[in-house]
Every structure is written in C-alpha cells, then in structure tokens.
C-alpha cells in the first residue's frame, strides 16, 4: 500500500535558481515533501535512496531559491524527483535522525 501521508510539495511558488550561488544561502539536496500538519513548512528527505537518509524540516519562508536536479531512480524503476534548496543562513531547521532502540 502506497502512503500518501507526505505528498509531493508544489515548489512553483518559490523562486527558481538562476545564476551563481545565492548570497547568504546554504544548499541542501533531497526529495521535498509537504509537511503533514504545517503548511508553512516542508520536509526534505536528504539522500532518500542512500544508506543513511536524513529527514529535515524547514520553514518555507527561509527558502531562497530552488534548483531542480536530475531524478534518482529506485531499483523498482520509480522516479524520485530531487531538488537543491538554498536556505537562508541563520535559519532554524529540524533534523530527524533514525536510531535503534535497545
């Protein structure tokens, strides 16, 4: 069963990346998803197909630019759209890390 809990986030309202590195911005690359309960935030799955994916949360107002990257492809052939988000330096983000309960 495919989960629709985190839907794809429409990034069309955010300024697209143009030329050069945005001033006062830090880049994060991953798979953007809509925040499940707060429309003013987004979830970014960093390295979603890697061995150690990281889940990050950012405020939409802290995104300076969006750069679309080539999609990654899962072993089953499913496309995973990737973006590079330029986040305002000094913004507060939340990083969720998986751990094993022992």
Asked whether residue 49 is assigned to any structural domain, the reply reads yes
Asked whether residue 35 is assigned to any structural domain, the reply reads yes
Among 92, 44, 86, which Cα is nearest to 65's?
Answer: 86
Asked whether residue 68 is assigned to any structural domain, the reply reads yes
Say what the pLDDT of residue 62 is. 93
Q: How confident is the model at residue 19 (pLDDT cuts 50, 70, 90)?
A: low
Asked whether residue 17 is assigned to any structural domain, the reply reads yes
Q: How confident is the model at residue 16 (pLDDT cuts 50, 70, 90)?
A: low
> What's the predicted TM-score (pTM) here?
0.73
Beta bridge partners of 24: none
Asked whether residue 3 is assigned to any structural domain, the reply reads yes
Q: Which residues, 6+ apart, have CB-to-CB distance to 60 below 8 Å?
A: 14, 40, 41, 42
Measure the CA–CA gap between 95 and 15, rounded to whole angstroms.
24
Say what the pLDDT of residue 13 is. 52
Asked whether residue 99 is assigned to any structural domain, the reply reads no
Q: How confident is the model at residue 94 (pLDDT cuts 50, 70, 90)?
A: very high
Total of domains in the chain: 1
Provide the domain limits for residue 5: 1-91
| Residue entry with tokens 């003013």 | 40
22-54: pLDDT as tens digits = 778 999 988 888 888 998 999 998 877 677 788
Asked whether residue 96 is assigned to any structural domain, the reply reads no
Name the DSSP class of 7.
P
Asked whether residue 38 is assigned to any structural domain, the reply reads yes
Q: Which bin fits 78, alpha (ψ -120 to 50), beta or left (φ > 0)?
A: beta
């Amino acid at each position: 069963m495919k989960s629709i809990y985190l839907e794809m986030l429409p990034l069309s309202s955010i300024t697209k990346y143009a030329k050069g590195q945005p001033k006062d911005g830090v880049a994060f690359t991953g798979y953007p998803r809509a925040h499940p309960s707060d429309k003013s935030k987004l979830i970014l799955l960093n390295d979603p197909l890697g061995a150690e994916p990281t889940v990050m949360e950012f405020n939409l107002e802290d995104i300076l630019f969006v750069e679309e990257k080539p999609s990654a492809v899962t072993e089953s052939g499913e496309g995973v759209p990737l973006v590079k988000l330029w986040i305002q330096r000094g913004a507060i983000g939340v990083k969720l890390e998986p751990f094993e309960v022992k």
